[in-house]
């Protein structure tokens, strides 16, 4: 592929001149771009494996998580879902990747969504605080979490009728995100791993779960900061402190959302 390197173009070469001085260059091996070997458990490059910070054995929980992951999250380097999955038994953490989930294509998921013990974690006026939801001891609970940016999660939630069948819940917490190497909309917006950690602690009535699941995330952020990463303050923090250095959006709806962030209005 040709790139514009900024150098002035040289004179065109005739057929006889093209190969002059290039003998041997054609025989040089082509350098292949290969991904670094990844750890099979934490999905991190082997040189920066986070397995020492994971629990020795998967956590024993009765709740089953369904992570609905936007396809764009699969390619992110600093994603948290592989760390979450590595903390839990495989049968308790199921990951489905996609944007659209119809009953025809996903009959198993449709059955899960119709289960009376299934909850979906998505904030909003219709959501009940998870702390106020009675946990039925007769059969295990199921929790659905959407993994993606806020706009991606909103798109998935509202364009898939299946996800409005379960009881909608939200986290009422003052916990501030420790995922400081990625920008969040507000100070209390949490990563998927953090949402799962807080939710499972509530549902399982076991405070140690949160500490165990957050341990690899803390190690990841610490490692990245030690190797040149910068702390990412939330968009809310940047706007309130006059530190937001990007052009303000021209779209009135987006501009209104940013005004609400500054004025502490829940959006």
Residue 28 in any domain: the answer is no
Is 175 in the same domain as 197? yes
d(CA 213, CA 178): 12
pTM over 0.85: no
Residue 6 in any domain: the answer is no
Residue 179 has pLDDT above 60, yes or no: yes
Residue 22 in any domain: the answer is no
Is 150 in the same domain as 250? no
Per-residue confidence at 188, pLDDT binned at 50, 70, 90?
Answer: low
Residue 17 in any domain: the answer is no
* Region for residue 159 given its phi and psi (left: phi exceeds 0; alpha: psi -120 to 50; beta: otherwise): alpha
Residue 197 in any domain: the answer is yes
Q: Domain residues for 250? A: 235-266
Residue 209 has pLDDT above 60, yes or no: yes
Question: Model confidence over 34-62: pLDDT tens digits?
Answer: 666 888 888 888 888 889 999 999 999 99
Is 198 in the same domain as 94? yes
Is 100 in the same domain as 127? yes
What is the arithmetic mean of pLDDT over 11-36?
A: 51
Is 246 in the same domain as 127? no
- What are the helix and strand counts (H, E) for the chain? 8, 6
CB count, 10 Å around CB of 239? 17
Residue 127 in any domain: the answer is yes
pLDDT at 15: 45
Is 198 in the same domain as 163? yes
Residue 147 in any domain: the answer is yes
CATH number at residue 69: 3.40.1280
Q: Are 38 and 79 in contact (CB under 8 A)?
A: no
Residue 33 in any domain: the answer is no
Q: What is the number of structural domains in the chain?
A: 2
Is 146 in the same domain as 203? yes
DSSP letters for 37-71: PBPTTT-SBGGG--GGGS-SS----S-EEEEEE-G
Question: Model confidence over 130-149: pLDDT tens digits?
Answer: 999 987 666 789 999 999 98
More confident residue, 35 or 80: 80
């Amino acid at each position: 592929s040709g790139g514009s390197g900024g150098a002035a173009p040289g004179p065109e070469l005739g057929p006889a001149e093209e190969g002059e001085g290039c003998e041997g260059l054609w025989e040089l091996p082509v350098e292949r771009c290969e991904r670094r070997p990844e750890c099979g458990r934490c999905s991190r490059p082997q040189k920066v494996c986070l397995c020492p910070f994971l629990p020795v054995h998967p956590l024993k929980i009765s709740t089953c998580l369904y992570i609905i992951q936007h396809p764009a999250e699969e390619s992110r380097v600093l994603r948290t879902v592989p760390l979450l999955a590595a903390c839990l038994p495989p049968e308790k953490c199921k990951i489905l990747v996609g944007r659209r989930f119809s009953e025809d294509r996903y009959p198993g998921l449709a059955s899960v969504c119709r289960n009376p013990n299934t909850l979906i974690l998505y904030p909003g006026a219709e959501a009940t605080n998870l702390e106020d939801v009675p946990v039925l001891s007769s059969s295990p609970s199921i929790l659905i979490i959407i993994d993606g940016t806020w706009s991606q999660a909103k798109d998935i939630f509202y364009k898939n009728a299946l996800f409005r069948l379960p009881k909608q819940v939200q986290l009422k917490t003052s916990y501030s995100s420790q995922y400081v190497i990625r920008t969040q909309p507000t100070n209390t917006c949490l990563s998927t791993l953090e949402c799962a950690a807080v939710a499972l602690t509530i549902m399982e009535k076991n405070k140690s779960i949160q500490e165990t699941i957050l341990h690899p995330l803390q190690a990841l952020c610490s490692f990245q900061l030690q190797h040149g990463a910068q702390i990412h303050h939330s968009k809310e923090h940047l706007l309130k402190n006059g530190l937001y250095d990007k052009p303000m959006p021209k779209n009135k709806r987006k501009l209104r959302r940013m005004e609400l962030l500054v004025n502490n209005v829940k959006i």
